């Protein structure tokens, strides 16, 4: 008896994928729950697991192949047929077949009794495997901190650190949450990509090599969507600057009791999320989208937080952010940062969103024009905090200042609305006590 391994349905918006890497070879014995192949989509990466035991008899789509939902990736042979195949694979013996649904479910949906994999291979996220290859780390020597001992990206990076030892059990610190304070007072929900990249070795004299690298599904989708939004939306950007003194003073006064009570740092994410919601309430068309010749005004606030991941920008969403406390916002943004770093964001984390906040300040940007995240009609760009001279009560003093930028779709958002929206954000940030009234 044979069982097809098919491309699973991941979400209604995902219809195709790319075979990133087969984790098994033809002739390998497999057990229910074994991760068979990694798939790459335009939104998330996932593993397809075996829900039947037997032998991987055939691989129909090799690494790098583009496939669609429902396509057959390969075949698992069961019973006597599988036993024969197993005997040819270094004498491995096929596991006993069990009554299971067809193979091809995402690994996260495999039965608990199937862990760990029967062939001794280490369970790891796609991001962890990629880093392990880059850093030449044997995954079998790394202790996983994920569910059921799954190796995460942070575990591999900890094991490959200069002072780390094989099998290190202490992962590196969690990713910095959004708008966490850094040396210049800036920061946000960005993984460690903010660090300066390592310089390549000097090019030998006379060498003029080139490298052709295929874009990932996510990068190709990002490229297509960026061109589409510039072709379809009437984008315009307006700027302002914000005095961050009030927010910094509140954070300094309350950071210790806040952390003691909630177990997390008080960053700047919650301040800007709350300020944005207050401004959206005053200017509801910036919390809308265009469908045909109609405006869909949304009376809920799902705020996207742009995150720079290794495979490209992703925008996980804080749902019903208006109903969240400061602690809940900080906690959820930290969790989303961790998922982005580990490559474990789900479709539910990325779906929807009514408005987006992004921050180039973590990379040192002083000013930029963010691009819309369609079908949204507004995006707020935050930037580095720098001490600049400012006039206060007739005197020139140094103040921590941040430039802010609002890009909006001029088709339904008037310039006066956009300017007043940004002024409202500025007012709420400069007078944080006013956030309580919102």
DSSP 8-state class, residue 172: P
Catalytic residue among 147, 320, 414, 431: 414
Cis peptide before 368 (omega within 30 of 0): no
414 is catalytic: yes
N- to C-terminal Cα separation, the chain:
63
382/365 Cα distance (integer angstroms): 9
410 is catalytic: yes
Q: Which helix (H) or strand (E) holds 2?
A: strand 2-6
Token look-up 């002083």 returns 366
89/392 Cα distance (integer angstroms): 78
Q: SS3 of 59, please? A: strand
Q: Which tokens go with 176?
A: 């910095």
Cβ atoms 17, 38 nearer than 8 A:
no
Radius of gyration from C-alpha coordinates of the chain:
25
Ordered DSSP codes for 325-376: -HHHHHHHHHHHHHHHHHT---HHHHS--SEEEEESGGGT-S---PPP-TT-
Catalytic residues: 410, 414
């Amino acid at each position: 008896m044979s069982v097809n391994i098919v491309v699973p349905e991941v979400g209604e918006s995902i219809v195709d994928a790319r075979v990133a890497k087969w984790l098994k070879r033809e002739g390998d014995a497999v057990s229910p729950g074994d991760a068979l192949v990694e798939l790459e989509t335009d939104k998330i990466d996932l593993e397809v697991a075996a829900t039947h035991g037997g032998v991987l008899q055939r691989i129909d789509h090799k690494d790098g192949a583009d496939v669609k939902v429902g396509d057959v990736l390969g075949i698992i042979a069961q019973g006597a047929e599988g036993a024969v195949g197993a005997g040819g694979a270094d004498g491995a013996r096929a596991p006993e077949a069990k009554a299971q649904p067809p193979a091809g479910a995402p690994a996260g949906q495999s039965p608990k009794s199937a862990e760990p994999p029967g062939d001794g291979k280490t369970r790891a996220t796609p991001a962890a495997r990629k880093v392990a290859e880059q850093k030449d780390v044997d995954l079998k020597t790394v202790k996983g901190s994920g569910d059921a001992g799954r190796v995460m990206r942070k575990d591999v990076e900890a094991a490959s650190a200069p002072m780390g030892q094989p099998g290190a059990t202490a992962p590196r610190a969690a990713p910095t949450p959004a708008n966490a304070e850094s040396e210049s007072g800036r920061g946000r929900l960005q993984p460690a990509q903010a660090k300066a990249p390592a310089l390549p070795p000097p090019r030998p004299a006379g060498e003029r090599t080139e490298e052709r690298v295929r874009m990932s599904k996510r990068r190709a989708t990002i490229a297509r969507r960026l061109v589409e939004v510039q072709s379809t939306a009437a984008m315009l950007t307006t700027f302002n600057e914000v005095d961050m003194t009030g927010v910094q003073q509140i954070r300094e006064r309350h950071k210790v009791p806040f952390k003691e009570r909630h177990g997390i740092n008080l960053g700047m994410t919650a301040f800007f999320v709350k300020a944005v919601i207050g401004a959206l309430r005053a200017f509801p068309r910036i919390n809308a989208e265009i469908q045909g010749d109609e405006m869909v005004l949304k009376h809920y606030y799902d705020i996207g937080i742009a995150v720079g991941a290794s495979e490209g920008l992703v925008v996980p969403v804080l749902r019903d952010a208006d109903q969240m406390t400061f602690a809940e916002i900080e906690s959820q943004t930290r969790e989303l940062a961790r998922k982005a770093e580990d490559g474990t964001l789900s479709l539910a984390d990325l779906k929807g969103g009514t408005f987006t906040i992004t921050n180039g300040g973590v990379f040192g940007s002083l000013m930029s024009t963010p691009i819309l995240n369609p079908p949204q009609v507004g995006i707020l760009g935050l930037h580095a905090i720098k001490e600049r001279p400012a006039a206060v009560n007739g005197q020139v003093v140094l103040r921590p200042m941040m430039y802010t930028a609002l890009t909006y779709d001029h088709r339904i958002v008037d310039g006066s609305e956009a300017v007043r929206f940004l002024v409202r954000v500025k007012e709420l940030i400069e007078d944080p006590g006013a956030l309580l009234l919102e």
